[in-house]
Amino acid sequence: MALVEMLLMHVSTTGALLAAVLLFLVVYLISISSSSPEEGKDPPGPKPLPLLGNLLQLDLKQLHVSLWELSKKYGSVFKVHFGSKKVVVLAGYKTVKQALVLKAEEFGERDITPIFQDFSQGFGNPFDTTQPVNYAVSNIISAIVYGKRFEYEDPKFQDMVNKTNKNICMVGSTMIQVLRNVHGCRVCLGESLARMELFLFFTSLLQHFRFTPPPGVSEDELDPTPVVGFTVHGPSGPLFFPLGSSVVLPCYVDELLLMEDLEVEWRRTDSQILVHLYQDGESRPEAQQQEYHDRAHFFIDQIQHGNFSLRLDNLRAEDEGEYTCRVYSQQDYGETLVQIYVGRLLVSGSNRPVSAYDGEDVTLNCSVDSHITPEHIEEVKWIKTDDDILVLLYQNNETFPDSSHEQYRDRVEFFTDEIPKGNFSLRLKSVRSEDKGVYMCQVFAGELSANATVVLERLDDDVQVQVMSDDGEMTRK
């Protein structure tokens, strides 16, 4: 009996499933065979399945690719079904533009995107953004000025913002405009209280900060003396310029000064010769020393910005020295010193007699003016001018002994420890008879070059050195 009931139950279940499938097919056939007048206006598209629509024909991970492939078959306007939802797809820029611009009414009933639907559920209730915006702006200012922000719920912060707002409202109120016309002694208690509140607020704020000196500076090295007025700035050290060039001597202030009664003068510190003067809003070339006429100039358009630098053209050897830039203003006065060196490359030989017997070592002296630092010296060459032979080469802070002619190889060298001092003297070992002749020490530094010439003569059993100056005069040492 139980077996019969199980068979009947199985048969009834199978029949129900077959009936459902049959009903599903009937509905599908009816839906694809019947078409209403409205459906006749629909664009072409793939046939949908009941309930599923065209989901099985689409790659939901790359939906745009699937729709683009369908547009190749059904055109730039076609329809697809996402489940039971019918969607019209526009493919291509021209089609979208035509639909949105020329047929806006037909496309005006599009469904709203769900996320925007959620955003719009404000229920029509207004809300005030004044306080949140005030707190946000105040926090931004605090972060920029103090490097710290406050929590919006901080009572001190809220109290400060509220008092500031009230103060601004009071200043802009009608009553304040009326009070300016009321005669007599006027006292505003609120102003005093506001100042006190501000003082207490900033005092409590500064307690959270600790002053630390700059890197490499100890607290004992700091000068706590207050500086009144303005400070005139110049270069951090001496300046080196080549002969004949146009140079700028820096002089400036950080803060803007009143142009009224502003006076700037440049003088030679040693002789107090007036190099250039700015007075009564213009340059005074007639007051400058004749030797600087048409050579010393201000940057007139930069003076209002606190730049009082001096341009000196056609630099001469006698321009070398110290200059004073002095600025006078209604508030105060200040000055700075500028030391310049003219890039004259001076190379000198030995001032002492040098002699050696055959087989001994001899030193040919060559020293560079101390104004030119070794790192600015690009090349030093010792040459025997009689035979145009390279004796030894120094280039880019390095000695090249392999560059020496075979006659001098392994017999010449610089005094390495003396090079930082500008000493490029040459040591010639084991003097031979063929070593006699004229030797030249050539020095190159940028656009500058100079040389010193040394004559080496062998007289019987000894060697004598002569120094020849640039003018050709020979001196026996």
**CATH code where residue 351 lies:** 2.60.40.10
Q: Is 6 exposed, middle or buried (0-12, 13-18, 19+ CB in 10 A)?
A: exposed
Asked if 255 and 351 sit in the same domain, the reply is no
Cβ contact 28:50 at 8 Å:
yes
Asked if 48 and 115 sit in the same domain, the reply is yes
Number of domains in the chain: 4
Main-chain phi, psi angles of 160, to 5 degrees: -65, -45
pLDDT tens-digit series, residues 332-347: 788 999 998 886 777 8
Main-chain phi, psi angles of 466, to 5 degrees: -120, 145
Please state the pTM of the whole predicted model: 0.36
Pairing of strands 274-279, 77-82: unpaired
Specify if 20 maps to a domain. no
Main-chain phi, psi angles of 180, to 5 degrees: -65, -20
Asked if 365 and 469 sit in the same domain, the reply is yes
Tokens at 408, concatenated: 């001098």
Asked if 351 and 337 sit in the same domain, the reply is no
Q: Please give the residue range of the domain that contains residue 164.
A: 132-171+196-205
Specify if 443 maps to a domain. yes
Asked if 465 and 373 sit in the same domain, the reply is yes
Task: Give the pLDDT confidence score for residue 322 in this predicted structure.
Answer: 94
Tokens at 234, concatenated: 């110049």
Whose CA is closest to 296, among 325, 337, 270? 325
Separation between Cα atoms, residue 134 and residue 400, nearest integer Å = 72
Residue 284: helix, strand or coil by DSSP?
A: coil
Strand partners of residue 87: 80
Kindly report the CA angle at 271 between 270 and 276, in degrees rounded to 5?
105
Specify if 472 maps to a domain. yes
As a residue count, the chain comes to 477
Fill in the amino acid letter for 432: R
Separation between Cα atoms, residue 431 and residue 346, nearest integer Å = 28
Strand partners of residue 339: 322
Specify if 103 maps to a domain. yes
Asked if 447 and 369 sit in the same domain, the reply is yes
Whose CA is closest to 379, among 427, 438, 424? 424
DSSP classification of residue 128: -
Q: What stretches in the chain show pLDDT beneath 50?
A: 1, 3-4, 7-8, 11, 35-38, 462-464, 467, 469, 471, 474-477
Asked if 247 and 326 sit in the same domain, the reply is yes
Specify if 240 maps to a domain. yes
Specify if 222 maps to a domain. no
Whose CA is closest to 377, among 409, 415, 345? 345
Asked if 454 and 362 sit in the same domain, the reply is yes
Whose CA is closest to 432, among 366, 381, 384? 384
Task: Give the pLDDT confidence score for residue 462 in this predicted structure.
Answer: 44
Cβ contact 397:375 at 8 Å:
yes
Asked if 432 and 356 sit in the same domain, the reply is yes
Separation between Cα atoms, residue 257 and residue 332, nearest integer Å = 10
Specify if 319 maps to a domain. yes
Tokens at 301, concatenated: 């358009």
Tokens at 62, concatenated: 């790359």
Asked if 471 and 355 sit in the same domain, the reply is yes
Cβ contact 199:193 at 8 Å:
no
Separation between Cα atoms, residue 348 and residue 451, nearest integer Å = 8
> Would the CA dihedral through 279, 282, 287, 291 be positive or negative?
positive
Buried residues in 285-321 as b, exposed as e (16+ CB within 10 A):
eeebeeebeebbbbeeeebeebebbbebeebeeebbe
Question: Which residue, 343, 360, 375, sits at the end of a domain?
Answer: 343
Radius of gyration of the chain (CA): 47
Question: Which residue, 343, 365, 393, sits at the end of a domain?
Answer: 343
Asked if 151 and 77 sit in the same domain, the reply is no
Q: Residue 327 belongs to what H/E stretch?
A: strand 321-328
Asked if 411 and 374 sit in the same domain, the reply is yes
Whose CA is closest to 443, among 342, 366, 364? 366
Specify if 435 maps to a domain. yes
Cβ contact 238:341 at 8 Å:
yes
Strand order in the sheet with 426-428: 362-364, 426-428, 412-414
Question: Which residue, 186, 205, 224, sits at the end of a domain?
Answer: 205
